[in-house]
Amino acid sequence: MNNVPFRRWSGRLAAAAAAMALAAGFTAAPATANPVTANAPAPVYIALGDSYAAGTGGGDYLVSPAAPQQCLQTAAAYPVLRGAALNLGCFGAKTTDVAAAAGQFEPALKTATVVTVTVGGNDVDTGQVAVACTLAPSSPECSAALYNTLVVKLRELPGKIKAMLTTIKNKAPNARIVLTGYPRLFTISAALTTQQVQAAKTMNSAADLLNATIAYSALVNRVRYVSVTERFTGHGIGSGDPWIVAPCNPLAPCARPLDAFHPTAAGYSGGYDAALEAARVP
């Protein structure tokens, strides 16, 4: 997956987005008849992360001051569904990019009461595994990609997440921070060939290890972790009702090839939004 560093965003766009968010919702109070909660401020929710936070795969891409076109954000993104005041999810983002975004949008984050983060997949090159192992699960290229992801880079991820969370905590001192996991991409079924079953098992196991690492990092850094694995069960590629975008056919043109291996709009709604709703986030 292509890396799109947040640090390339202009300061003018950052200031404009922060100002819009402040004007649009940061001062709003919920309407209620309960005298105890009548004066309680509305939660200020800001989302950070990679393409899964951006909503890539959920439909047409959006363009806004806070979401350059290369971020591949969509209206189906779970932060949009959850009513985020600002969605800073961006295609290709790594933990360092998320930390950079937190620094760039510090004025907005200072007001945040909830911050969600979906990140880690690009740090360990899961995109390379998906491509190499889907095409040829028994190939040297797949084995090399898996070794790079699971043996080399996954071991480095907890330290990267810790550094990122330190930055977010400094920039959003009043926020409850929530890390989310990733779905398994495949559902093992009769619809898959023998080779596809092998690839599916390999990549699902890799997703489990990535999620375990993110959950562990959340625990040791005293932030919350929300799993989406269960919500996507039975809805992977190969199922009768897939919530994951399948890769394009190499012999046919594809309108949005970068959507591959991302949730569909149904996946963001029934997977991420539902999991965060159940966890009462925000």
**Domain extents in the chain:** 6-278
Rounded Cα gap, residues 67 and 31, in angstroms: 30
Spell 9-43 as b/e; 16+ CB within 10 A means b. beeeebeebbebbbeebbeeeeeeeeeeeeeeebb
What are residue 47's phi and psi, to 5 degrees?
-110, 140
What is the pLDDT tens value at each position of the chain, 282 positions in all? Answer: 444 444 444 343 444 444 444 433 333 334 344 555 556 678 999 999 999 999 999 999 998 776 788 999 999 999 999 999 999 999 999 999 999 999 999 999 999 999 999 999 999 999 999 999 988 999 999 999 999 999 999 999 999 999 999 999 999 999 999 999 999 999 999 988 898 899 899 999 999 999 999 999 999 999 999 999 999 999 999 999 999 999 998 787 888 999 999 999 999 999 999 999 999 999
What distances in angstroms separate CA 216 from CA 64, 111, 183, 221, 222, one per listed residue?
35, 27, 17, 9, 10
* Residues with Cβ within 8 Å of residue 266, at least 6 apart in sequence: 235, 241, 243
Helix axis angle for 154-171 and 95-104, nearest 10°, is 10
135: left (phi over 0), alpha (psi -120 to 50) or beta: alpha
Rounded Cα gap, residues 194 and 216, in angstroms: 33
Contact 50, 88 (CB under 8 A): no
Q: What are the helix (H) ranges across the chain?
A: 11-21, 51-54, 78-81, 95-104, 106-109, 126-135, 140-146, 154-171, 194-220, 229-232, 265-267, 274-278
Q: Which CATH class is domain 6-278?
A: alpha beta
Among 79, 195, 198, residue whose Cα is nearest residue 146:
198
Contact 203, 150 (CB under 8 A): no
* Residues with Cβ within 8 Å of residue 104, at least 6 apart in sequence: 6, 7, 9, 11, 14
Task: Tell me 69's DSSP state.
Answer: G
